[in-house]
Amino acid sequence: MSPRVCPSCGARYSYELERCTFCDTELVDTESESGVVLAVTEVSVPSVGHEDTPYWCALLETNDGGTLIVKLGRSVLVGQHVTVGVPDEAERIVVGVLGTGLMGKGLVELLLSCGYDVVWVARSQASMDTAREKLTERLSRVMDEGELLERYRRLNAGIDMSALRRCDLVIEAIVEELEAKKSWLRTAEKAMRSDAVLATNTSGLPLDELACVLERPERFGCLHFFNPATRMRLVEVSVPDTTSAATLERLEAFSRALGKVPVTVSSRPAFVVNRVLMPLINEAVRSLEEKAAPAEQIDEAIRLGLNHPMGPLELADLIGIDVIVDIMDNLVSRTQDANYAPRPMLRQMVEQGHLGRKTRRGFYDYSAPRA
């Protein structure tokens, strides 16, 4: 919705509100505005049976010297320039997302929250219907009805790859399997314009092997977002040797436009974060196997002892135990280092279907609210 201003004291708001919280005067609509973030607070909306949905309340100094209170569906930093409504970057670019899994939904949520036009492609209509229902549930918890309708006017969701012709950038976020990604990337590239950029969200599959199936490898790279995409600020940007300097620059600029911090890393196995994280998770699982402590106490020890916001077992549940095992197996295969091999308990959990939050059972039970 358009920002609203108090005609009495001049306070401005960018969310559904009828009267000023300072002087109780009725608010009036204004044109969209932009400004620099003076202060920001993250707020989480708790819900029984669902993960918390974050949003950010920011105080802006507007271009005319006034102030504006805004509610955002994405993280921002003090000093960052923010446009209320649709950012200039979003007006100029259409972004495609391939896949309806955890990261696919997260990326679409992030892009719509930032005001981008989005083309969302799924393998089947059934998976798209399910994913869209979950997306609506999340967005409706931080947006009013008018905002939600405006965002959905910017969304083209379906199973037709030819819709990618509109896109300036396409991000592949399907299952973390090499052959599946090759197939989807090859098909997507054929549907895209020759001047568009294609990116993968892989957490560490070999980029040179993905690039070799493409006709335009110079326009291909990796944007490794972290879950949840709306909250995590890091994007690992990586490219194979065939990628042009202009494509790398576009990938970095796009990450910054989303309010993320791009860190460019070499295309070594698992990049940087997962290369460091997987041994930590493995050792936490080893401690659990050896009954050093229950899962809750292992996580609490790591949170407090290393000042981490989340323990390694809880984080594994969030990522997905099957994804963890795939990353570890990939690391062993590509580095020949058996230290990355997943612990027996991880493989057993995958066999049992206890994959973490997405199956409501992992190291923790998510079928009921945790104390």
Residues with a catalytic annotation lie at: 203, 224, 236, 274
Using alpha carbons, list the distances in angstroms from residue 353 to 347, 358, 359. 10, 10, 7
Q: Which two structure tokens, joined as six digits, stand for 280? A: 């930590």
* CA 176 from centroid of its chain's CA atoms: 16
Find all residues with CB under 8 Å of 246, minimum gap 6, and list them: none
Distance CA 50, CA 344 (A): 29
Cα radius of gyration (the chain): 22
Q: Which two structure tokens, joined as six digits, stand for 249? A: 């620059």
Give the β-pairing of 261-264 and 234-238: parallel
Distance CA 162, CA 188 (A): 8
What is the number of helices (H) and of strands (E) in the chain? Answer: 12, 15
> Residues 147, 104: contact at Cβ < 8 Å?
no
Beta-bridge partners for 61: 36, 67
Distance CA 267, CA 293 (A): 37
Distance CA 45, CA 141 (A): 8
Distance CA 12, CA 28 (A): 9
Neighbours of 71 (CB within 10 A): 19
Distance CA 321, CA 335 (A): 21
> Residues 356, 316: contact at Cβ < 8 Å?
yes
Distance CA 262, CA 174 (A): 21
For every residue of 215-256, DSSP letters joined together read S-GGGEEEEEE-SSTTT--EEEEE--TTS-HHHHHHHHHHHH
